[in-house]
Structure 1
């Protein structure tokens, strides 16, 4: 097992060093490996009162909890956004990834929404956050396509939270239709794709078009089957269609893939921090 692992490390290094382009795909498993987990101790320590009052079990399912009032809903969401977007600094894993690609031709597509790529040095114009970002609010019904920075409001909500409620006057309302607001996350059909979203989508597609048929390495990082059509399946298809492509799949649980890509896929089940740091050596 160890011999095979070392062989894969050398194969990955060779592929990356000889690549014309690197395309990174960051999924939930990447942020979890970096320490931004949604359950366990990190959840119980940050949400003790919410757990006691509502019986919440983890941050993912809590995002869909039917809070009775907007004051309670935003007390929860302010904490959720803060501990995932504003409290964490850049993590070692993301910084290592930046060191790996910074001097190469690369682009990032990610379903993660906590801005770790940008915090860790990746220029924002090279990162497509396709599922949104915790740092913004939008109209809950998507009545217009403007996003609103929420850092100041989120921190004020946390300061004013009492018994899992914020004051009524802090509840955000849409400046256009007067309705409720949501975090800018793809949780329903009203997800707002603003001008920046479309620009990044265009740049990403152009990057893929220009790299077609070249020596590309698709680096899939902790991508499961929650939204496989965004990163996992496209990476597999682009690898299949390009004889010069290599797919690096870093995933402890979901390592399976297209049989046709078997000879062009390098799979790592090991801890992602270890893998990336050793590829860097």
Structure 2
């Protein structure tokens, strides 16, 4: 829809007010808009020693750096997990999103792993974190499906990091196979989907079934093309197949969608935080 910013805001407001169901899809651009950025000053302020030692350039690529030892690897990852999962409180953007939908019938599917939805008031039974959560560890080989909450260990690792290394006794070891541990992130075929993951997946699919063919608003926030099959493409397909559906896309860089949905899509390539605030107002 090629409309003015004000007209698009009013259209989005009306669709949200009139709908029966709201499905929120949160991608990396949402947390970045909330202030949880992986580069720039936030990166250099928190990782100066690692930048100097390894030449790291941002938090995303740093997660794939070939650290020579587990002591070095976990010194980095402890800091990464802390600054993205445990240090930030609920952000204004996520709290505004909660205010926008809290009294409605809604569900959240997200590829973000920072728990911002939960921190900002969204009930756990309305959030499906498809790609994992920084707050948990898993066996690196996925030898069993239990996850381990890591906050106290992460804080201890940071406290005892010296020259970008943690003490060997703090390196996490799988209690079942004795192998290495990983953050619970979908980075390979060994990603652990525990009992909670399957429960949330079931709740998500029940929501889709309940809302099928009814008046729906799909709110897509900061979703790019890294994992489009999780949120972006399904939201487009559900919009296309439901004549009563509207897709509201907030995305500064990847705002173009299916031309077949053009008349059912309200697109914003402006700042996500500003747009949500305006819709809520």
Structure 2 match to 1:173? 173
The alignment status of 1:68 with 2:68, answered yes or no, reads yes
Deviation string for 1:215-260 (max 9, x for gaps)?
Answer: 1000000000000000000000000000000000000111111111
Q: Matches of residues 259-274 of structure 1 in structure 2 within 5 Å?
A: 259-274=259-274
Per the alignment, in what secondary structure is the counterpart of residue 254 of structure 1?
coil
Of 2-11 and 169-178, more deviation after overlay is shown by 2-11
Name the CA distance, whole Å, in 2 between partners of 1:274 and 1:84.
Answer: 22
Name the CA distance, whole Å, in 2 between partners of 1:99 and 1:154.
Answer: 32
Tell me the CA shift for residue 3 of structure 1.
Answer: 7.0
Name the CA distance, whole Å, in 2 between partners of 1:178 and 1:204.
Answer: 34
Name the CA distance, whole Å, in 1 between partners of 2:23 and 2:206.
Answer: 12
Name the CA distance, whole Å, in 1 between partners of 2:87 and 2:145.
Answer: 27
Q: Matches of residues 14-93 of structure 1 in structure 2 within 5 Å?
A: 14-93=14-93
Name the CA distance, whole Å, in 2 between partners of 1:170 and 1:3.
Answer: 56
Does the C-alpha gap of structure 1 residues 242 and 3 become closer, same or farther in structure 2, counting only changes over 3 Å?
closer
Q: Matches of residues 90-239 of structure 1 in structure 2 within 5 Å?
A: 90-239=90-239
Name the CA distance, whole Å, in 1 between partners of 2:145 and 2:187.
Answer: 16
Per the alignment, in what secondary structure is the counterpart of residue 94 of structure 2?
helix
4+ residue runs over 4 A deviation: none
Name the CA distance, whole Å, in 1 between partners of 2:66 and 2:253.
Answer: 31
**How high is the TM-score relative to the length of structure 2?**
0.99
Name the CA distance, whole Å, in 1 between partners of 2:254 and 2:47.
Answer: 29
Superposed CA RMSD:
0.9
Deviation string for 1:26-80 (max 9, x for gaps)?
Answer: 0000000000000011001100000000111100001111100000000000000
Name the CA distance, whole Å, in 2 between partners of 1:53 and 1:149.
Answer: 29
Tell me the CA shift for residue 273 of structure 1.
Answer: 1.0
Name the CA distance, whole Å, in 2 between partners of 1:38 and 1:220.
Answer: 21
Name the CA distance, whole Å, in 2 between partners of 1:17 and 1:3.
Answer: 20
Tell me the CA shift for residue 118 of structure 1.
Answer: 0.2
**How high is the TM-score relative to the length of structure 1?**
0.99
Name the CA distance, whole Å, in 2 between partners of 1:260 and 1:166.
Answer: 53
Structure 1 match to 2:10? 10
